[in-house]
Chains A and B, each alone.
Chain A
Amino acid sequence: MWPRMDASPLDDPWIAAQVDAAVAPYVGRLPAEEVAWMREQLAEVLLHDEEAIRLLRRAQPREVDESGERAFGVLGAAGRAKAG
C-alpha cells in the first residue's frame, strides 16, 4: 500500500529514528514543544531539501513487493510532495 497523501516522513519508523537521533541532544534541554517542532522541521527538510531527498533515497532500507517494482515507505509521498 502507498502512503496517504498527508503522510509524514515521521510515519516511517526508520526515518523517525534518524530524526530522533538528530534532535536527541536537545531533548530535556529545550521545551518538549520546541523539540517536537524541530522534528517537524526536519521532516520538512526530508521532503523539500534536494540533498536530503537524494541521501534518503540511497540510505533508507527498502521493502519491495513481490514483483520487485514498488518501494514501500515514505519516498513516494516525498516525491509527490516535491512535485506538488
Chain B
Amino acid sequence: MRTAEDRLVAEGLDLLRLVAKRIARRLGRRIPVEDLVALGHPALLDVVRTHDPSRSTFEAYAKRKIRWAIFDGIRRETRWRSAAARASALAASARFAEGRGADDDADAPATQEAYAARLGGLLAGHAAAMALGLLSAQGDVAAVPDAADSPEERASRAELAQAVRHAVRELPERERALVERHYFDDERFDQIAQDLGISKSWASRLHSQAIERLGELLRAMR
C-alpha cells in the first residue's frame, strides 16, 4: 500500500515532467527534456519533505521549487552556455512575477486605459527582467564580449549594458543594491536579503518594485 509520501512523490514526478517540458520549449529546445528532468529531480524529495499545506498547495510549491532547481542547474552546467543566458532571463522574469502582490495598484482607477497602462508596465517589467537576466549571464558585456557575436552585436550589447547600468543607478538605494548585487555581482538572493536585514519575501517584493521601475526607466531612455 502506498504511503502519503509515495503519492506526493508520484504527483511530484508528473509535475516535474510538466515543468521540464515547458522550460525546454521556452528555451527553444536547446536542452533535452530528460536532462531538465534530471536537474529537477533532486528537488523533488526536498519538496515532499518541506511542503507545508497551510502555506501553499503541493502543486504550486512543487512547481516553484522544481523550476528554480532546473534554472540553477542550467546555470551551473558549462555545456549549456547558449541556453544559460535564456534560463537566466526566464529566472529573472519568474522572480519578478513571484514578488508581485495580488493587491498591487489596488487603488488605481478601474478604467480600460488604466488597465492597459498597468498591463504595459507589467510587460515592460518582464522585458526588463529578461534583459537583465540575459546580460548578467554573459557577465559585464562591455568587458567580456561573447566571441560568437559580430562586432556590431557586441557594440549594441555594450550599449544596452551601459543603458541598464545607468537605469539601475537611478533606482532607490535598497532596490539598486539588490539588483546590482544579484545581477551584476552574482550574489545569492537570500544572502542579499540577510545583509539588508529583510526577509526573503520582502526582498522578493523589493525586487519586483525595482524591476518594474527599471522597465519604466528603460522605456523612457529609448
Contacts and interface: CB of A to CB of B under 8 A. Distances in A.
Range for the number of chain B residues in contact with chain A: 35 or more
A60 B122 CA distance: 14
Main DSSP-derived SS at the B contact region? helix
A24 B130 CA distance: 13
B126 A45 contact: yes
Contact of A22 (B115, B124, B134): B124
Contact of B112 (A22, A29, A58): A58
Range for the number of chain A residues in contact with chain B: 20 to 34
Contacts of A56: 119
8 tightest CB-CB pairs across the interface, nearest first? A29-B160, A59-B115, A22-B123, A59-B116, A58-B115, A55-B119, A25-B218, A22-B127
Contacts of A7: none
Nearest to A44: B26
A26 interface: yes
Contacts, number: 89
Contact of A42 (B127, B153, B159, B160): B127
Interface stretch (B70-78, B85-93, B176-184, B197-205): B85-93
A52 B119 contact: yes
Contacts of A38: 89, 127, 130-131
Given A37-B28, A38-B130, A51-B100, A28 B116 contact: no
Nearest to B102: A51
Interface in B138-183: 149, 153, 156-157, 159-160, 163
A65 B178 CA distance: 49
**A25, A45, A61: residue with the most chain B Cβ atoms closer than 10 Å:** A25
A19 interface: yes
B31 interface: no
A18 B102 CA distance: 22
Contact of B86 (A37, A45, A52): A37
A51 B97 contact: yes
**A23, A26, A31, A41: residue with the most chain B Cβ atoms closer than 10 Å:** A26
A34 interface: yes
A57 B36 CA distance: 33
Interface string A8-36: 00000000001101111110111100100
